[in-house]
Amino acid sequence: MMQAWRNDEVGARFGAAADLYEAHAPIQRMAAERLASDIALLPLPPHPRILEIGCGTGLLTRALARRIGPADWTVTDIAPGMLAAARQGAALPGIARYQLLDGEHPAGLPGGYDLICSSLAVQWFADLNAGLGRLAALLARGGCLAVATLAAGTFQEWQTAHAAAGFAAATPPYPSPAAILPDCGNLMGGVRSERLIQDHPDGLHFLRGLKGIGATTPAPGRPPLGAAQLRRVLAAFDEQGAGVTYHLAYGMWKKANNRPAGVFVTGTDTGIGKTLVSAILARAWNADYWKPVQTGVAEEPGDTETVAQLAGLPPERLHLPAYVLQAPLSPWAAATLEDTVVDATSIVPPATQAPLIVEGAGGLYVPIDDSHMMIDLIARLDMPVVLAARSGLGTINHTLLSLEALKRRGIPVLGVVMSGPLSAGNKEAIERFGEVRVLAEIPPLSKVDAQTVATLASGIPPLAECLQTLGGAPAVAG
């Protein structure tokens, strides 16, 4: 009953602000555009079924329509005023319906959505992860849940001003990005974050902005301050500079599809040790091996032969590349030289009984053909990634950039394998700032042979254990 009252209160305050909302919503507009840009990178089907939660006046709706085009839209909000404002916007391409809905408890919806999205609305859920889990249950297989929300540290300056005046702020508590995880066992994905600072002339301007967007419902159990108390808080706020920090968390998760069990091995660069990592994983997980696109065979044997020797794989555990090219260049460049046509969309994984180790060519943004990069192939194959990285100088930047690119596409990362002289500092930085597990560190090797690979493989965690950390593991054969 209390939650229903709170939902009514939140809806009423946002609805009353519908006419003025966009004039006071620069952060909301920025978050919607960035979330829409991330969503546009997802492999959505033509004319996708889209459910939007908390549409407000339509900032995300319009940003998506510009990028995605025709779709089957179900646009919802808890506030009638906001829903009416969104409906009055430009007609959406495709089929559009507008519906009053409590997004935390989405009763009566048919499900089967290719995309469920929300920008700066789900932070009002009483139980964020449970609410996200209920939304995820409405996804089609292979469908994506994409949200922008507020994270811990938001409004820290306002809270500090309250503490300086001897009070506790009524702002809601927000979770850390790492704590945002939908209660749904068959999702894979993660959360990336950013920090934005909005400067105000003074505290009154900040409060008017919150009122302008309707975000004035206090946290449960936190009554608003009296006039004299508020003046003390405003004085403390103005004294510290009147700037406000927003910590934004962008969550992107995909509902498990009929993907092959296993991983895609890619790297932060070329010559990074992907083939050795692939051999170690194939040995550790008793897996098959497949290199979809092999280049450079004019100068050295293909990676399939190397992995077979190092991992001790019999012929039946090896799968032929879809394309073999002579020049040691990107597939796109090599195919151009050899007057060959490579089509990334024609690459289909082999049927396997065992887990499958797929090794890419180069890094994430190596072009395969005229319009597809390696990251596009990873997304289409719908497999988690193991990222091969160096251990030395520069690896933090290269690794974090690669992890950020994968997160933006909603591609889950099983872990990182670092090669080179051991560096505890670089390992800690990658795990902390990349929010990822370092599965193994490969020291400099005087000899690389089957025995070396077997020794290194013995330290790799089981595949099923690694997959469980992604929020849901498929059945693993072998």
Give me the mean pLDDT over the 319-347 stretch: 90
* 463 labeled binding residue: no
Residue 475, pLDDT > 60, answer no
Q: Which residue matches tokens 């992860």?
A: 129
Whichever domain contains 186, its CATH number is: 3.40.50.150
386 and 267 in a common domain: yes
| Residue 288: closest CA among 406, 383, 186, 415 | 383
Tokens 């590349």 identify what position? 321
Whether residue 266 sits in one domain with residue 251 = no
- Interval 125-145 mean pLDDT: 93
pLDDT at 21 over 90: no
**The pLDDT of residue 477:** 34
High-pLDDT (> 70) share of the chain, %: 91
Per-residue pLDDT, 2: 40
Q: Is 27 annotated as a binding residue?
A: no
pLDDT at position 178 is: 87
CB atoms within 10 A of CB 309: 14
- Mean pLDDT across the chain, nearest whole number? 88
What is the per-residue pLDDT across 253-287, written as a single tens digit (0 to 9) for each? 988 765 557 899 999 988 889 999 999 999 999 99
pLDDT at position 478 is 33
Judge whether residue 142 has pLDDT over 80. yes
Q: Given this model, what pLDDT does residue 11 score? A: 55
Is 394 a domain residue?
A: yes
Residues 268 and 333 in one domain: yes
pLDDT of residue 181 exceeding 80, the answer is yes
pLDDT of residue 471: 47
Report whether 276 belongs to an annotated binding site. yes
**pLDDT tens digits, residue range 437-447?**
999 999 999 99
360 labeled binding residue: yes
CA 173/CA 206 separation, integer angstroms: 19
Section 279-297 average pLDDT: 94
Query: Residue 37 domain-assigned?
Result: yes
Residue 211, pLDDT > 60, answer yes
Among the residue ranges 403-417, 428-442, 459-473, the one predicted with the least confidence is 459-473
Does 154 show up as a binding residue in the annotation? no
Query: Is residue 478, in this structure, part of any structural domain at all?
Result: no
**With 80 as the cut, is the pLDDT of residue 18 above it?**
no
Find, among 252, 464, 253, 264, the residue nearest to 380 by Cα.
264
Q: Cα–Cα–Cα angle for 323, 325, 328, nearest 5°?
A: 135
Q: Are 207 and 268 found together in one domain?
A: no
Average pLDDT over residues 446-467: 92
- Kindly state the average pLDDT of the residues 125-132: 95
Cα gap 299→20, rounded to integer Å: 65
Is 159 contained in some domain?
Answer: yes
Lookup: tokens for 335? 């195919």
Q: According to the model, what pLDDT value does residue 25 have?
A: 80
> Residue 474 — pLDDT band, cuts 50, 70, 90?
very low
| 145 and 283 co-located in one domain | no
Mean pLDDT calculated for residue range 66-78: 95
Q: pLDDT > 90: what percent of the chain?
A: 61
pLDDT of 158 higher than 90: no
Lowest pLDDT segment from 133-142, 298-307, 360-369? 298-307
Q: Is the pLDDT of residue 16 over 80?
A: no
pLDDT at 298: 81
Q: Is 15 annotated as a binding residue?
A: no
**What's the CA gap between 477 and 317, in Å, rounded?**
13
- pLDDT exceeds cutoff 90 at 1: no
- Domain's final residue, options 191, 223, 255: 255
Q: Is pLDDT larger for residue 471 or for residue 71?
A: 71
Residues with catalytic roles = 291
Cβ partners under 8 Å of residue 155, min gap 6: 169, 171, 244, 245, 246
Picking from 190, 224, 255, the residue at the C-terminal end of a domain is 255
Q: Is 362 among the annotated ligand-binding positions?
A: yes
Residue labelled with tokens 């099923």: 464
Q: Is residue 456 part of a domain?
A: yes
- In a shared domain, residues 269 and 248: no
Shared domain check, 276 and 200: no
User: Quick one: 194 and 285 in the same domain?
Assistant: no
199 contacts 238 by C-beta, under 8 angstroms: no
Q: What is the CATH number of the domain that holds 279?
A: 3.40.50.300
The two three-digit tokens of residue 461, written as one number = 């965690």
325 and 292 share one domain: yes
Counting every residue written for the chain, the total comes to 478
| Phi and psi torsions of 215, nearest 5° | -90, 60
Q: With bands split at pLDDT 50, 70 and 90, how would you rate the model's confidence at 12?
A: low
The range of the structural domain enclosing residue 75 comes to 1-255
| Residue 291 covered by a domain | yes
Instruction: Tell me: do 279 and 343 sit in the same domain.
Output: yes
Predicted model pTM: 0.71
Could you tell me if residue 477 is inside a domain?
Answer: no
Specify the number of domains making up the chain.
2
Domain endpoint, select from 214, 238, 255: 255
Q: Are residues 206 and 340 in the same domain?
A: no
Instruction: Establish if 476 belongs to a structural domain.
Output: no
319 and 218 in a common domain: no
